[in-house]
Amino acid sequence: MNLEIIAHRGFSAIAPENTLAAFSRAIARGANSIEFDIQLSADSVPVIFHDATLERITGVSGKVRETSLSQLQTLNAGKWFGDEFSAEKIPTLTEALAILKNVDKFLYFDVKPHCEWSDAEVADFVKTLRGAGIQEKCVITSFSEKFLAQVRRLDGDLAIGHIVANLEAYKTQLSQAITHRDNLISSLYRVLLENPALIQETRNQGVDIVAWTVDDPADMQKLIDLGITRIVTNCLIG
């Protein structure tokens, strides 16, 4: 069985999440794939950042979607984690792809549901991925069915995954994945441990499973024993 270790927001146990430092360290330590969060600046530039608001990471108030790229790039995205990361900025997707394209297996884009994208913004996003020549490594995941539908319309070849955090959502989104012939369910790992029959049921429909976010080695082993091969983790890397 080929286990795929997916670094959550990069190697976020040893470097600030969603930064170039976290991505570089994940690849250096042998993570097979990287998961990261993406949303838009006020001027429609895709940036890599988890929260809707800036405060937890940068110490500055305000919303990412209401802040221009030039303003975002003045903020510090690493000092909260440690002084040695005080040079880290909020990366744009284009900046990050220079590192991320070196990943061995897949890039999991977690497109934040609090950020609305116009069709033109989604088209630019897809064009960026095509321009980087990495479409085959990209898995576009989101809680937002609207965003997934926009991507599906624009590029039928991009892998698409539905993110779920409870059993009810799992069943609903599995049905959606089957209907649209999408590739993946990305599930909170406890849902799988508590409902192991879902695993074979999902695979029987031609849909694979990613489990997130697993930081306990015992839980990881339980998932592996159940046949899960794609696991998102903050720290169980290398």
| pLDDT single digits (tens) 47-56 | 999 999 999 9
| C-alpha torsion sign, points 216, 81, 104, 176 | positive
Average pLDDT over residues 123-144: 96
CATH 3.40.50.620 fits 4-233, yes or no: no
Average pLDDT over residues 119-123: 97
User: How far from chain centre, in Å, is Cα 138?
Assistant: 10
Query: In the structure, what pLDDT confidence band is assigned to residue 222 with cuts at 50, 70 and 90?
Result: very high
3-state secondary structure of 27: helix
Q: Report the pLDDT value the prediction gives residue 198, as an integer from 0 to 100.
A: 98
Q: Report the pLDDT value the prediction gives residue 221, as an integer from 0 to 100.
A: 98
Sequence spans of domains, the chain: 4-233
CB half-sphere exposure, 176, CA atoms < 13 A: 21
Q: Which residues pair with 69 in a beta bridge?
A: none
Rounded distance between C-alpha atoms, residue 24 and residue 123, angstroms: 28
Query: In the structure, what pLDDT confidence band is assigned to residue 30 with cuts at 50, 70 and 90?
Result: very high
Q: Report the pLDDT value the prediction gives residue 238, as an integer from 0 to 100.
A: 85
Distance between terminal CA atoms of the chain? 17
Is a pLDDT exceeding 90 seen at residue 77? yes
Q: Which helix (H) or strand (E) element contains residue 223?
A: helix 217-225
Is a pLDDT exceeding 80 seen at residue 99? yes
Average pLDDT over residues 190-205: 98
Is a pLDDT exceeding 90 seen at residue 135? yes
Is a pLDDT exceeding 90 seen at residue 1? no
Count other Cβ atoms within 10 Å, centred on residue 113.
15
And the tokens for 11?
Answer: 């190697």
Count other Cβ atoms within 10 Å, centred on residue 216.
12
Average pLDDT over residues 198-204: 97
